[in-house]
Amino acid sequence: MVMADLQDLRVSRLGDPRFDSPLAGFIGGRRTNEHYVSEDDRVLYHDTVSELAGLDGTAPAWPSFEPGGPRRRLFFEPGATTVGVVTCGGLCPGLNDVIRGIVMELALHYGIPTVTGFRNGYLGLTASGPEPATLTPESVDHINQHGGTVLGSSRGSQDPVLMVDRLVELGIDILLVIGGDGSMRGASGLVEEIARRGLEIGVIGVPKTIDNDIPFIGQSFGFVTAFSQAAKAISVAMVEAKSSIGGVGLVKLMGRHSGFIACYAALANQDADFVLIPEVPFQLDGPSGLLASLHQRVKERGSAVVVVAEGAGQGLLEGSTETDESGNMRFADVGLHLREAIGRHFVAMGSPLTLKYIEPSYSIRSVRAEPHDAVCCLRLAQAAVHAGMAGRTDMVVGRRHNRAIHVPISLVTSERNQVAPDGDLWMSVLEQTKQPVHMC
């Protein structure tokens, strides 16, 4: 991860605050310092003594984030602000939780009884898109009990000129965007067009990625639910493999560029014998390759389970030049390639093989959020509303060192959060699986 200086971490504001917050009635009176966030406070980028010791100057000059949370003074007037929300990209556990949290926070604490819900991603922000929904506390009351998003979603970008036209037409003051890195780049385009026109419209992101690959924000919502569900798929593969002659369970999980789901799922139930992730290249053939190592493991133990992230081993495959609606390169299917390669190898070795291939992607993406993620979603939703009402823009909410933080969109789209091949997470995977280090 690159070193970010203090200037990189500063968040844009629409202007100086103009209104008192109505939250005093909810959070005041319990102690002399009401639970507002100080505008002068910061959350440090670094978290170890050794890192801090290597910095020049004193604390005010150290890299740090603006803390999230309620402000004493607001830019937008409570009760007289129009807010929109949109969900973009693929499904992820917790989308409905975030929507519900936004609507409830605005209604109950800021006196804004309705929220405009744009349907089907950025398509809903164009004049030709579907009509927006009116979200109220009553209409969203139980949506967190279901997976998916009540607003629908879509991939792909839209013309920011047309989208800002729509925001102006509907009188939107704050737009809350729930989406991944591509969606955040789209939000950045909106900010640029809004600034070009000199408008006072805030754009706040709630970063969503099931792969946990957005940097600086801690764990993204939905990730815990995703690897918990993935761990169940690994358990199924283990049972199938152990119940068969020459049993091999092959589980393909999400993770185009980052192998966090594969790593955490493998550690959660400890049934995997091999874990393959995009960050760590591996050999397929030869005496030190995966196929020989897998064959030996099955020979010794009677069965084995292989977990592979979808972006692993792409250097071994013939890649595609096509892209999907979001502009992402379409990867070759490593799961099918491994299934065929394992089959050929065992035949060549004259060994019996019963291979069960499991790909649980959609059954993971579509489930409701588990309790840990549900709490995370609510707190991110509240932080996003507080930031929007305080006049922040061109930023996302996240958590760092167990504190809510504000991060510029340009920063979270500048790189990916990835598993460090020399880090403690990958070391834990190697310790647990006992897969040969020389295979990589």
Q: What is the CATH number of the domain that holds 84?
A: 3.40.50.450
126 and 172 belong to one structural domain: yes
234 and 250 belong to one structural domain: yes
Question: Choosing from 97, 181, 211, 271, which is the catalytic residue?
Answer: 211
258 and 138 belong to one structural domain: no
297 and 174 belong to one structural domain: no
42 and 134 belong to one structural domain: yes
Contacts of 422 (CB under 8 A, 6+ apart): none
CB 210 within 8 A of CB 179: no
Residue 16 designated active-site: no
Can you list the alpha helix ranges (DSSP code H) found in 171-269? Answer: 181-197, 223-242, 260-269
Answer with the residue of higher pLDDT: 46 or 335. Answer: 335
CB 205 within 8 A of CB 383: no
**pLDDT tens-digit profile of 384-428?**
999 999 999 999 999 998 899 999 999 999 999 999 999 999 999
83 and 189 belong to one structural domain: yes
Assign 304 a pLDDT band (cuts: 50, 70, 90).
Answer: very high
**pLDDT tens-digit profile of 224-245?**
999 999 999 999 999 999 999 9
pLDDT for residue 206: 97
**pLDDT tens-digit profile of 34-85?**
678 888 888 888 888 877 777 777 777 788 899 999 999 999 999 999 999 9
213 and 286 belong to one structural domain: no
Task: Count other C-beta atoms under 10 Å from residue 169's C-beta.
Answer: 9
Do β-strands 202-207 and 395-400 pair in parallel, antiparallel, or remain unpaired?
parallel
Name the percent of the chain lying above pLDDT 70. Answer: 93
Q: Has residue 405 been placed in a domain? A: no
How crowded is the C-beta side of 394, counted as CA atoms within 13 Å? 19
pLDDT for residue 1: 42
- Give the whole-angstrom CA distance, residue 369 versus residue 362: 14
Q: Has residue 213 been placed in a domain? A: yes
DSSP 370: P
Do β-strands 12-13 and 64-67 pair in parallel, antiparallel, or remain unpaired?
unpaired
89 and 41 belong to one structural domain: yes
- Give the whole-angstrom CA distance, residue 124 versus residue 183: 13
What integer best gives the mean pLDDT of the chain?
A: 92
169 and 71 belong to one structural domain: yes
Q: Has residue 413 been placed in a domain? A: no
394 and 320 belong to one structural domain: no
- Averaged pLDDT, 376-381: 97
| 3-state SS assignment for residue 20 | strand
- Give the whole-angstrom CA distance, residue 264 versus residue 218: 15
Q: Has residue 120 been placed in a domain? A: yes
**pLDDT tens-digit profile of 83-113?**
999 999 999 999 999 999 999 999 999 999 9
Query: What residue numbers bound the domain in which 79 lies?
Result: 6-220+369-400
The top-scoring range by mean pLDDT among 130-139, 209-218, 312-321 is 130-139
136 and 238 belong to one structural domain: no
Q: Has residue 345 been placed in a domain? A: yes
Number of domains into which the chain is organized = 2
- What is the pTM (predicted TM-score) of this model? 0.93
Q: Has residue 409 been placed in a domain? A: no
pLDDT for residue 18: 94
pLDDT for residue 409: 96
307 and 202 belong to one structural domain: no
User: Where residue 348 sits, what CATH number does that domain have?
Assistant: 3.40.50.460
Q: Has residue 416 been placed in a domain? A: no
Assign 331 a pLDDT band (cuts: 50, 70, 90).
Answer: confident
pLDDT for residue 34: 61
- Give the whole-angstrom CA distance, residue 212 versus residue 397: 14
pLDDT for residue 328: 64
| Length of the chain measured in residues | 440
pLDDT for residue 32: 46
Sheet hosting strand 64-67, strand order edge to edge: 43-44, 64-67, 403-408, 395-400, 202-207, 174-179, 83-87, 115-118, 133-135
Q: Has residue 136 been placed in a domain? A: yes
